[in-house]
Amino acid sequence: MAPDTTAELKREDFISDQDVRWCPGCGDYAILATVQRAMPEICKELGVKKENVVFISGIGCASRFPYYMNNYGFHTIHGRAPAIATGASVANPDLMIWVVTGDGDSLSIGGNHTLHALRRNANLKILMFNNNIYGLTKGQYSPTSPEGLVTKSSPQGNIDHPVNPIAFALGCDAAFVMRSIDRDAVHLADSLKTAARHPGAVYMEILQNCLVFNDGCFDFVMEKDQKKVYALYLKPGQPMVFGPGDQFALVWQEGRLVKVEKKDVPAESIVRNDPKNKTQAFALSQLWYPDCVPVGLFYQAERRIYEQEVLRLEKEAEAKGAPDLGKLFRTGLTWEVKK
C-alpha cells in the first residue's frame, strides 16, 4: 500500500517497534526522544514526506539509532556512514538524510570520510554524539578523550591530545557547524530544525553523557548549578555574555576571545556573535571549561551543494548524447557474462 503523505505526522509515527537497548540513563535516550518529537515539525515545515526521511549510521552505541526510528534507515560499517549516505543522496536528492555517529566512529576510523562529506558539502545532516569515550567496546579512550583520562586502554592516563570536533569541522571547510547538549531538549530540538533548514552539509556535535564509562564528563554544561556559570548560548547578533546575571563577557585580546568580568569592560568592546564570521567561529571553538563552553551555531555559510553539481554534470553529459545515468541504473542487468 502506498504511504499516505497527506496525513499529519506525529511523534508516534517515528517510533519503531524495536526495544530501545542502551544502558539505563544513557544520554542517547534523550537525543532519540527529542529527534522523534522534532521530526514531524521538520517534515511539515519543509514539506518532506516521511518516506523520504532516512537515518544512516556507522558503528557504536549511537549507531543503533536507525533501529529505533520508524522510517528508512541503514546501519552501515565503522566510520563509513558519510560515504554511504553521500551515495544515497546522490542517487536520490529528494531524500533528507541524517547521519548518526559517535566521536570514535566519526573522528577516528571515520575521520577521512567525515572530512570529505563536509568539504564536498554533501546534503547530509551529521549528528555526532560525543561522550569522550568508546562506549560500545566498553570504555577505551577515544579521539576526544581529554589528556590524563584514565580508561581501560589508558590506565596511566591518556597521553593523546584530543580532537576538537568543532575546530575539525571548521578546518574541513564545513558550511554549517553547531553544538548542542543531550539533556537540553528545547535547545536540541531548535538546533535540529535549524540544521534541517540548511541546504548542504551539517556537522552538529551533541555533548552526550555515558553513564557507565565516563559519567559526568560534561557536568559543567549539564548540571544546573554549573551550567549557569559555564554555558555560553550563542545568539546571532547578540553580545556574547553569560554566567549568573550575565556576569561574564567575551572580548578580543591579542587575536583571541577572552572571558572577562562584564563590569570591567565597556559595552562596545563585548563581541557580538556572528555565525558568518569564520575567524570568530574558530576562536569560539578554542573555548572550553573552565572558561566557558559555547553552545549553538558557530558557523553557517552558503555553498554550492554536491548533489546539485553532480546532477548538473549529468544533464550536461546527456545533452551531449550520453545515456541517462539514472535510467541506466534502473534497467536491471547492464551486462551479461556468457560462457
CATH code, domain with 65 = 3.40.50.970
- Angstrom distance (rounded) from CA 325 to CA 252: 53
Rounded to the nearest 10 degrees, how much is the dihedral formed by the CA atoms of 315, 316, 318, 319? 120
Q: Kindly state whether residue 36 falls inside one of the protein's structural domains.
A: yes
Q: Kindly state whether residue 247 falls inside one of the protein's structural domains.
A: no
- Angstrom distance (rounded) from CA 171 to CA 293: 19
- Give the tens place of pLDDT for each residue, 215-226: 999 999 999 999
Residue 261 three-state SS: strand
The residue among 70, 34, 10, 24 whose CA lies nearest residue 206 is 34
Q: Kindly state whether residue 182 falls inside one of the protein's structural domains.
A: yes
Q: Kindly state whether residue 228 falls inside one of the protein's structural domains.
A: no
- Give the tens place of pLDDT for each residue, 165-177: 999 999 999 999 9
- Give the tens place of pLDDT for each residue, 237-264: 999 999 999 999 999 999 999 999 999 9
Number of domains composing the chain = 1
Q: Kindly state whether residue 310 falls inside one of the protein's structural domains.
A: no
120 and 201 Cβ atoms separated by less than 8 Å: yes
pTM recorded for the entire structure: 0.93
- Helix axis angle, 27-46 relative to 185-197, nearest 10°? 40
- Angstrom distance (rounded) from CA 281 to CA 214: 28
Q: Kindly state whether residue 65 falls inside one of the protein's structural domains.
A: yes
Q: Kindly state whether residue 238 falls inside one of the protein's structural domains.
A: no
- Give the tens place of pLDDT for each residue, 142-201: 999 999 999 999 999 999 999 999 999 999 999 999 999 999 999 999 999 999 999 999
pLDDT at 175: 98
The half-sphere exposure of 205 on its side-chain side, counting CA atoms within 13 A, is 29
Domain span including residue 180 = 11-217
119-to-3, 170, 173, 335 alpha-carbon distances in Å: 35, 10, 6, 35
Q: Kindly state whether residue 16 falls inside one of the protein's structural domains.
A: yes
- Angstrom distance (rounded) from CA 241 to CA 220: 17
- Angstrom distance (rounded) from CA 42 to CA 40: 5
